Each structure stands twice: as C-alpha cells, then as structure tokens.
Structure 1
Amino acid sequence: MTTFALVGAGPGLGLATARRFGTAGHGVALIARSAEHLQHLTDDLRRDGIEARGFSADVLDPVALTCALQDAAEVLGPIEILQYSPVPRADFMKPLLDTTAADLEDPLAFSLKGPVTCVNAVLPGMRALGHGTLVFVNGGSAVRPHPERAGTSVAFAAESAYVRMLHDVLAAENIHATQLIIPGAIRPDSEHSSPQALAERLYALHAERDGFRHYAEPMPE
C-alpha cells in the first residue's frame, strides 16, 4: 500500500480529499499542527475503513515537517501522492502599501519553503517507487495578484513558479507536479467548488496526470 500525504489537513476540503484517496486504497497521512484536531479527522476516516494516521507539524518548522513526512512513510508505506494545501493565516493578507519586507517572511516560508521542504522529504521515496504525484492547491491570487492580499499574492506566485519548474523537471521521472487554483470560496452547495467536487478533481489530477495548472472554476474578470 502506498500513502496519500496531506499537508494542511482540515475538516472541509482536506477531509473530503483524504476520504477520496483513502477509498481508492491508499493509506492516509494527515499533517497539521494540532494533535487533537488530527485525532478527530483520523477517527472520522477510520469509521469508513480507511487506514489513517495523524502527524503533528507546523509548516513553518522545516525539521518537524520533514520528520512528520518521514514518519508517515515508515508507518503507512511510501508516499506516492503529496497534497500541499494549508490555509494561509489572515495576517498574510495585508494591503500592499501596508506590507513591509518583514511581513513577507512568514508567507514565503509558508508557501515556498514549506513546499520545498515537503518535496525534498518525499522525492526519494517517489523515485524509488518509479512514480508519484505532487499536488498544490492555491487561491486565485496565485495567478492574479490582489493588492489587498499582498503577502499571499507574492508567496503564491513564488510557489507557482516552483511547482511549474517541478512539473517540467520531474516529468521524465514519471513524477507529476500539478496545481489546482480555486478562485473563490469552497462552498458545500457549489457544483464545482464543494469539498466533494474538489476532492474528485484532485483525484483526477493524480489519475489523469494532464498538464500543470488547472482551475476549479473559471477565474472571474
């Protein structure tokens, strides 16, 4: 059995995606800061017969994040799919002219250094398997920067550039790097942006391995 590792596990999209990959036969490793929060999520998945474990780590702590992914692979099996989709903090979204250089440190650590740390942790295992999928989920400011959300706009753009390079460099090794842009809110009643619809879309990105950037819905003008 191989493992689906979700960095930024939550009760909405994260849980729906974990359930989708778990029902497809993958072990599920959930990574978030709160052990109590992880216990609730893993209990929910186990009630559906999914092999799930939680591993506590903050994406701003490279050592803890690396250890969590390594522990997940040892406990559940090699990580075949990595999804990086933690929710940015509200203080990352200051207006542009109120944003200092120091204000960009955590957003860049969150959206660029975190992904680099994760990829470096899982890539050796994917190479040993001979295949793998790296999925990154971002909001619309990744492709259309918003001056009222400067930190995430800058950090998501950096993450996008990194993932695009991964897509190009790793394709020859049968490791697929892809990005899903969710332009608006995730809503339970949305046809394309409900947690369940997005989970199906993310599974399809893994299964179909088609292209770099995808959109949950068309970007508004």
Structure 2
Amino acid sequence: MPTIAIVGAGPGLGASLARRFGRRGFQVALLARDAERLDALARDLAGDGVEAEGFPADVGDRPSLIDALRAVERRYGTVDVLEYSPAPSGATDPRLAPVHALDVTVADIQPQVEHYVYGAVTAARQVLPGMIERGSGTLLFTTGASSTLVFPPMGNVGIAGAALRNWALALNASLADKGIYAAHVPLATFIGQGGPETSAETIAEVYWELYTTQAEPERLYSTV
C-alpha cells in the first residue's frame, strides 16, 4: 500500500487529507507535536476505515522531524506522498505571530523561515532519496496566500511562504525527469469559516486532483 506522510496533521485540513487519501488505499502517517492528539486522530480515522498512525515531531526541531520520518519509513517502508502544511502557530507561539510589512524585523522573519522553509527542506530531504531511487513520488507544500499575493499584514509570514514557494517550484522543475512531482498550494481562505467551498473536505479534493493529474506545479485556492 502507498503511504502519505502529513506533516502538520490536525483536525482540519490534515484530517481531511488523511481521509481523502486513506479511502483511496493509502496508509497515513500523521506528524505533529502533540502525541495524544495524534493518537486520537488516528483512532478517529480508523473508525472511517483509514489505516493511520501518529508520529510526534516538531517542525521547529529538525532532529525530531528527521527521527519521526525515519520511524514512518521503518513502519511503512516508503513515503510515496509528503504533504507539508505546518499550522500557523501565532496563537500558541508569539514568535510566529504575523507582523505587518511596515514593522517587520529580522527577528520576526527568522522563526517563520524555520517554521516553513527549514522544516519543509528537512522533511523533503528525508524522503527524496527513496523517491529518486524508486523513480516516483509526490511532494505537496502548503502555505497561506501571502506567499503569492500582496497582503501587508502578513509581512513576515509572506516572506517565508514565498521562499518555500520558490523552492517548491524549483523542485518540481528539477525532479520532473526523475518521475517525481512537486506542487505548491497557497490557501486564500479561512478553513471552515464560510460556505462549503471553505470546508477542509472540499480543499482536500484539490490535493487529490493535483496528485492524480500532476498537471500543475501550483494551485492557488481562493474563496475571497
């Protein structure tokens, strides 16, 4: 069975991605900081017939992320799809609070770069060698829309998201002849805070379509 590793798995988009891929025969590795919440999510998914297991990791702690992905590979053998969507953590970590472009400082940018860019690079480099050896694999990177659109209130977040976007697109161009697909999904919506088009289930369909068609290196999802 193929395996998807969801980095930043939670009860919203991560859970919906797990169900969407899991119902199509994927084993699901859930990576996030809170082991108890991961176990609860895995039990919930099991009730829907999805094989899932939690692997605690913190994207800001690169050794823990490497260890978790190694554990995923020991458990499932391979990671066929890596989805990287670390949740915005400004509410729980003041270092990650958004700062307006007029006020942003180097100290405001660095934690965002660690959160988005360093974590993504660490995760991808852990699974890429196996993908290259097999000649297949998919890397999906999620950011907010400030990575592609002008939105001054997210000054520091946009800088980091734009850097991740640039790298994701460069990866796709570099890996196409190796049978590996990479895509960037900037989300211009507040998940679950509107009509059906804002639901995590609806958004998860975009990721499934990107995975199955591999036709676009980027898909902006906007409900605003």
1:123 is aligned, of 120, 128, 144, to 128
Q: Is the 8 A contact 1:126 1:132 kept in 2?
A: yes
CA drift at 1:191:
3.6
CA distance in 2: counterparts of 1:60 and 1:190, whole angstroms: 33
CA distance in 1: counterparts of 2:148 and 2:55, whole angstroms: 31
Secondary structure class of the residue paired with 2:152:
coil
1:153 is aligned, of 153, 158, 166, to 158
CA RMSD of aligned residues (A): 1.4
Query: Is 2:184 aligned against 1:179?
Result: yes
CA drift at 1:35:
0.4
CA distance in 2: counterparts of 1:63 and 1:102, whole angstroms: 23
The code of the aligned residue for 1:35 comes to A
Question: What's 2:205 paired with?
Answer: 200
User: Could you tell which deviates more after superposition, 126-135 or 38-47?
Assistant: 126-135
After superposition, the C-alpha distances for 1:190-218 in whole angstroms (9 at most, x for unaligned) are 34331111111111111110111112236
The code of the aligned residue for 2:154 comes to R
CA drift at 1:97:
3.1
1:135 is aligned, of 132, 140, 143, to 140
CA drift at 1:18:
0.5
CA distance in 2: counterparts of 1:213 and 1:206, whole angstroms: 12
Q: Is the 8 A contact 2:73 2:79 kept in 1?
A: yes
Question: What's 1:23 paired with?
Answer: 23
Q: Number of residues paired by the alignment?
A: 219
2:168 is aligned, of 163, 188, 192, to 163
After superposition, the C-alpha distances for 1:81-114 in whole angstroms (9 at most, x for unaligned) are 0000111222330122332211211100111111
Q: Which runs of 5+ in 2 are unaligned?
A: 91-95
Task: Report the TM-score, using the length of structure 2 for normalisation.
Answer: 0.93
Q: Is the 8 A contact 2:192 2:198 kept in 1?
A: yes
Question: What's 2:3 paired with?
Answer: 3
Question: What's 1:71 paired with?
Answer: 71
The code of the aligned residue for 1:171 comes to A
After superposition, the C-alpha distances for 1:41-75 in whole angstroms (9 at most, x for unaligned) are 10001112221110111001111101111111110
User: Could you tell which deviates more after superposition, 55-64 or 138-147?
Assistant: 138-147
CA distance in 2: counterparts of 1:215 and 1:104, whole angstroms: 23
Q: Identity rate of aligned residues, in percent?
A: 37
Question: What's 1:93 paired with?
Answer: 98
User: Could you tell which deviates more after superposition, 136-145 or 31-40?
Assistant: 136-145
After superposition, the C-alpha distances for 1:163-189 in whole angstroms (9 at most, x for unaligned) are 011010001111100011211211265
2:219 is aligned, of 208, 214, 218, to 214
Secondary structure class of the residue paired with 1:177:
strand
Secondary structure class of the residue paired with 1:6:
strand
CA distance in 1: counterparts of 2:8 and 2:84, whole angstroms: 7
Question: What's 2:33 paired with?
Answer: 33
Q: Is the 8 A contact 1:192 1:216 kept in 2?
A: no
CA distance in 1: counterparts of 2:99 and 2:83, whole angstroms: 26
